[in-house]
Amino acid sequence: MNLILRCISLLCLTGPAVFAQSTNPKDNDYSYQTSDSTRLLKELMVYGQKRQIASINKTLTPLIDLPISVQLIDKKLIEQQQITDIRDAIKNVSGITVTGTYGDGYAMFNGRGFGMNFNSNFRWNGILMQTIGRLYGDNIERIEVLKGPASIQYGDVAPGAVMNFVSKKPLDYDYRRFELKVGEYGFLRPTLDLSGALTSKKQLLYRLNASYESGNHFIDKINSKSYLFAPSITWKITTALEWNVEMTAKNDNRTFAPGLVSPDGTFEGLKKIPRGLFLGEPDNRHRSDELSGYSTLSYKINNNLSIRNVSYYSKAREQEEAVFFPDRKADENGNLNRTTEFFQTFTKIAGTTLDLVGKFSTFGVHHDFVIGADYTQRYYTMFYNDPVELKPFNMYRPVYGENVLPKIIGYDGDPDKPRQYITRYGLYAQDQLKMWDERIHLMLGLRFNKTVQGTKYTAANPVPANYKDDVKQPVSPRIALLIKPLKDLSVYASYTQSYEQNGWDELTNIMLQSTDAKQIEFGAKSNIFSGKLGIGLSVFQIDKKNIVGYVFGLDAAPEWPHLAYNEYYKWAMYQGGHHRSRGVELDINGKITPQLSINVATSYINATVINDPAFKTGNQLEGNAKQTFNIWANYALDKGTLKGLELGYGFFYKGKFYASTENLPDEVVKSYWSMDASIGYTYRNFFTRFNVSNFTNNIGYLARRGMYEPLWVRRSMLSIGVRF
């Protein structure tokens, strides 16, 4: 917290920062586009990791002029830290943390104190994406994070943050890059990145990203394999009209990692078992695959006006062969009750968006605006087996393979299986008015939504009595004021809303209300060191109401109002209540000197229960660490005999938090910190880098509702590659 106060003092003296420009893309391998289309915005080079414009906002407005908090993780930072997992990338952004995983197959995130909704809070080039597996891929150029409610851009989303992945686009020059990463625990990851022109006049461009990964884990019995194949083509039909088509094919197959339960149900009890203990079955797998296609057609009407259409189709399959621990603890002899939890899911997403983006002036007032419409339909089908009780498992003397595990039944083409769906329609407009020599900015935005959520029933599975689709038509506003006392200093205040659709609940056959949220935010941004270093500060309050929640570990139906109680799994579901998050976030990003780049992300977030049917007022929300502090520094020698040598160091801290909103004193997860280091060298077209993460081998855990996941022990990774 002292660091936050010192940085606030620095901000008041120098002004908050952002963004710069720079150099040759071939020398830096750093050719970014300012939107998903080269036609919408000109190519822009940057110092450090800051960029002037982020596509997640959909307008041409520079980030320093945006009265909202947007943070970016650029390719250079990804390369320096040798990131291969989104969980490692996101710790470079303040206010965003990982709360856990489902069997290590996919991760769950917390934004500004609230869980991020996997059905709507993750985007691929601004459109809805599949989230059934690992999110990171080598076809990602950068990661953009818009904090706070974002319903005006994206409709029904959770209020904490929206994460947008911007894909690599074809280049108009020859580019070849091959890299091989090898590491401890059998890690192997070769990657290929090819791009260039297919015609002499460079009207037809291509890019291909491909990768393969395999490895083991420090946890016994765990292994994984995955691949990515992602081609894309850009056709410059005319100087004003451009069409980009891209495809993503992904497959992931890994051991289902159920995590740990404490022998006695307490956090301290984890000391009685090794971090590398495996409580599942080696034959259990998390399998997922995805095939997605995207079409982006953009037309530059004139220098101030562009139009863009994105259409897409995506399908994905997921299979979970899981072990579940209904008691969340063992008996005094270490015997643990286990049951199976096997299911398959099939998801299809299709949609289209149309945006008119531009700028104009009237009577001395300048406007940056976007007017758009979008349509998305998502179908979701699940097949599951009834749980099967397994033989007791002793965590002190583990024996595997004693159970005959059931096989999944069901398939995507079953015509009698009901299918859940959600259809979204949206019309939105946002205008940022710049007045008084652009020293005062007023942002006004409004979105009209229509969301239909329900189930397609069949003759074999008829419609339940009293069933109806959930239809919501909310209006989502945004209003903000930004003042620029100096060219490189802006201060702002904003108000915005969001909503989440909850739909028809099949367990209780009742219609759930939507979950609503409102945010007030104050912030400041600035550039210092001639624009090379950016500083962003934000202070916010988010109020979230009508929450759908779960309470686990109940031996009987609770006395407080609830919608359902599952006697076998011992959980109850409810809706209602009011939760609030208040916090301060600080991000510093860019270059202090031509050789030294830094990324600092720190936050203090107090996310609590205001009132709730199940939890006490004042309780901290599950998984929210009040304090986080992360810093990464990289020093690159650019002169002398050691030119091309780079040294990197990182320190990452996450404060203590509760494993559940019940705030049981025995479930307080202790704070955790780790340090990383790297050394890299580039000589002409050759490059290599060696990283060690958690080199002090500290012990840390993620936790959710009595389940614990140990964080990685010390490990090293070496990469070698060539670029030409």
Q: Which distant-in-sequence residues (6+ apart) come within 8 Å of 186 by Cβ? A: 214, 215, 216, 223
Task: Indicate whether 570 belongs to any domain.
Answer: no
One-letter-per-residue 3-state SS of 484-508? EEECCEEEEEEEEEEEECCCEECCC
Task: Indicate whether 436 belongs to any domain.
Answer: yes
Q: Which helix (H) or strand (E) holds 6?
A: helix 2-14
Q: Which distant-in-sequence residues (6+ apart) come within 8 Å of 642 by Cβ? A: none
Q: What pLDDT score was predicted for residue 564?
A: 87
Task: Indicate whether 45 belongs to any domain.
Answer: yes
Residue 90 sits in a domain whose CATH number is 2.40.170.20
- Regions of the chain where pLDDT drops below 70: 1-52, 407-413, 504-509
3-class state of residue 557 by DSSP? coil
Domain total in the chain = 1
Q: What pLDDT score was predicted for residue 349?
A: 95
Q: In Å, how far from its chain's centre is CA 493?
A: 25
Q: What pLDDT score was predicted for residue 412?
A: 63
Q: What angle do CA 615, 620, 623 make, to 5 degrees?
A: 110
319: left (phi over 0), alpha (psi -120 to 50) or beta: beta
Task: Indicate whether 428 belongs to any domain.
Answer: yes
CA distances from 289 to 127, 250, 251, 478, 692 (A): 19, 5, 4, 37, 30
Task: Indicate whether 650 belongs to any domain.
Answer: yes
Strands 510-511 and 285-302: unpaired
Q: What pLDDT score was predicted for residue 23?
A: 31
Task: Indicate whether 558 belongs to any domain.
Answer: no
Q: Which helix (H) or strand (E) holds 464?
A: none
Going by C-alpha positions, the residue among 215, 211, 208 that lies closest to residue 138 is 211
Q: What domain range is 423 assigned to?
A: 2-546+577-684+698-723
Q: What pLDDT score was predicted for residue 410?
A: 62
Helix H segments across 100-258?
A: 151-154
Question: What is d(CA 356, CA 259) in angstroms, rounded to the nearest whole number?
Answer: 47
Q: What pLDDT score was predicted for residue 233?
A: 98
Contact by Cβ (8 Å): 646, 637: yes
Q: What is the pTM of this model?
A: 0.90
Task: Indicate whether 563 belongs to any domain.
Answer: no
Q: What pLDDT score was predicted for residue 443?
A: 95
Q: What is the pLDDT of residues 272-322, one digit of tens each?
A: 999 999 999 999 999 999 999 999 999 999 999 999 999 999 999 999 888
